């Protein structure tokens, strides 16, 4: 093989190397012809005219920008150190290549400026408790500003909001006092609940004791009632037996009158008692009067010892 053939082969290899480009799946290419935008190509094998066309590869994956910490003054004149990270992705390769020179520096300065504006409108307490709001507001501002750069801001995350040391110490003391206050409140609430439970227990015990006493009294009353009923039934049976015996023996009015007097004596029981008698007792009372006259006559007829002498 002569030298000319070798030169031709080398030229062809160089031309092939310059004309064939491979783009990865996450890449797109911007093709320029003699310094002028020609077209945007997708990933894969791309053919260009060597020495006339050039291609600029654009990474379409989500990327991150770490914004350096900076001092920001809050609305209540407190200096805090704030830093954040920005996640973005390219959506238009043409604008990403031709509308911004250094996207990293541009988005960093834009984020720092807007952080000062957003936090400058908040007091320290709001700044420390409103990270989600700051993230959302900053992402919205950056997304609108970077739209002409062919990028989309996916999200923004505040990494650190650090107040001065003296304020941190004061906040630590305040939090400690607040925790002690909550502990005291919880302890008092626990004691209150304990006393309430104790009072409810005493109340329940008193109710149970009263119910027990009432049940005992009821049982005693039932026993007394049973006793009285049994006595009354016994007396009724005894009276019935006496009544039957008396009628079977054909008693005279005198015997009935004596039994009636004995019954009245038991009823009176030695006390001054007014006894109401039914009308049907008139015959018996007549027998009693007859017995009284009989005793009186016998007394008059019976001589005294002096008369016998």
pLDDT digits (tens, 9 = 90+) for 124-177: 888 888 889 999 999 999 999 898 999 999 999 998 888 888 777 777 777 788
Which pLDDT score is estimated for 152? 92
Select from 81, 87, 177, 85 the least CA-distant residue to 127: 81
Confidence of residue 1 (pLDDT cuts 50, 70, 90): low
Domain for residue 245, yes or no? Answer: no
Domain for residue 170, yes or no? Answer: no
Q: Which residues pair with 64 in a beta bridge?
A: 87
Q: Is 242 helix (H, G, I), strand (E, B) or coil?
A: helix
> Hey, how many other C-beta atoms are within 10 angstroms of the C-beta on 56?
14
Q: How many CA atoms lie within 13 A of 129 on its CB side?
A: 4
Residue 246 has pLDDT above 70, yes or no: no
Stated pTM of the model = 0.54
Which pLDDT score is estimated for 179? 83
pLDDT digits (tens, 9 = 90+) for 6-48: 888 888 888 888 888 889 999 999 999 988 999 999 988 888 8
User: Same domain, yes or no, for 126 and 52?
Assistant: no
Domain for residue 180, yes or no? Answer: no
**Domain stop point among 141, 163, 185:** 163
Confidence of residue 82 (pLDDT cuts 50, 70, 90): very high
> Hey, how many other C-beta atoms are within 10 angstroms of the C-beta on 300?
8
In CATH, what number is assigned to the domain containing residue 92?
A: 3.30.479.30
User: Same domain, yes or no, for 131 and 42?
Assistant: no
pLDDT digits (tens, 9 = 90+) for 198-222: 888 888 888 888 888 878 788 877 8
User: Same domain, yes or no, for 86 and 44?
Assistant: no
User: Same domain, yes or no, for 70 and 126?
Assistant: yes
User: Same domain, yes or no, for 265 and 291?
Assistant: yes
Domain count, the chain: 3
User: Same domain, yes or no, for 38 and 83?
Assistant: no
Both structure tokens of 228:
């009285």
Domain for residue 226, yes or no? Answer: no
User: Same domain, yes or no, for 35 and 105?
Assistant: no
Measured between alpha carbons, how far is 232 from 241 in angstroms, rounded to an integer? 14
Confidence of residue 279 (pLDDT cuts 50, 70, 90): very low
**Domain stop point among 146, 163, 180:** 163
Which pLDDT score is estimated for 226? 79
Which pLDDT score is estimated for 190? 86
Domain that holds residue 269: 251-308
């Amino acid at each position: 093989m002569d030298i000319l053939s070798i030169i031709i082969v080398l030229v062809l290899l160089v031309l092939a190397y310059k004309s064939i480009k491979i783009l990865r799946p996450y890449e797109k290419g911007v093709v320029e012809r003699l310094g002028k935008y020609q077209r945007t190509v997708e990933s894969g094998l791309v053919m260009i005219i060597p020495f006339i066309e050039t291609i600029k590869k654009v990474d379409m994956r989500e990327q991150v920008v770490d914004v350096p910490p900076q001092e920001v003054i809050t609305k209540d004149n407190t200096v805090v150190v704030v830093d954040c990270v920005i996640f973005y992705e390219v959506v238009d390769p043409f604008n990403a290549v031709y509308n911004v020179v250094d996207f990293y520096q541009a988005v960093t300065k834009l984020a720092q400026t807007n952080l000062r504006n957003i936090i400058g409108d908040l007091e320290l307490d709001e700044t420390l408790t409103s990270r989600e709001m700051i993230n959302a507001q900053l992402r919205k501002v950056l997304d609108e500003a970077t739209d002409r750069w062919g990028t989309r801001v996916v999200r923004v995350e505040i990494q650190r909001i650090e107040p001065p040391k003296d304020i941190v110490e004061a906040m630590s003391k305040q939090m400690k006092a607040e925790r002690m206050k909550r502990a005291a409140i919880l302890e008092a609430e626990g004691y209150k609940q304990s006393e309430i439970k104790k009072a409810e227990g005493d109340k329940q015990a008193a109710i149970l004791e009263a119910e027990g006493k009432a049940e005992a009294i009821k049982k005693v009353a039932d026993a007394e009632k049973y006793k009285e009923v049994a006595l009354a039934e016994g007396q009724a049976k005894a009276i019935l037996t006496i009544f039957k015996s008396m009628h079977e023996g054909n008693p005279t009015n005198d015997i009935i009158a004596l039994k009636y007097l004995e019954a009245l004596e038991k009823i009176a029981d030695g006390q001054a008692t007014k006894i109401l008698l039914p009308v049907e007792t008139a015959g018996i009372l007549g027998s009693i009067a007859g017995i009284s006259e009989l005793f009186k006559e016998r007394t008059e007829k019976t001589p005294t010892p002096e008369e016998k002498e």
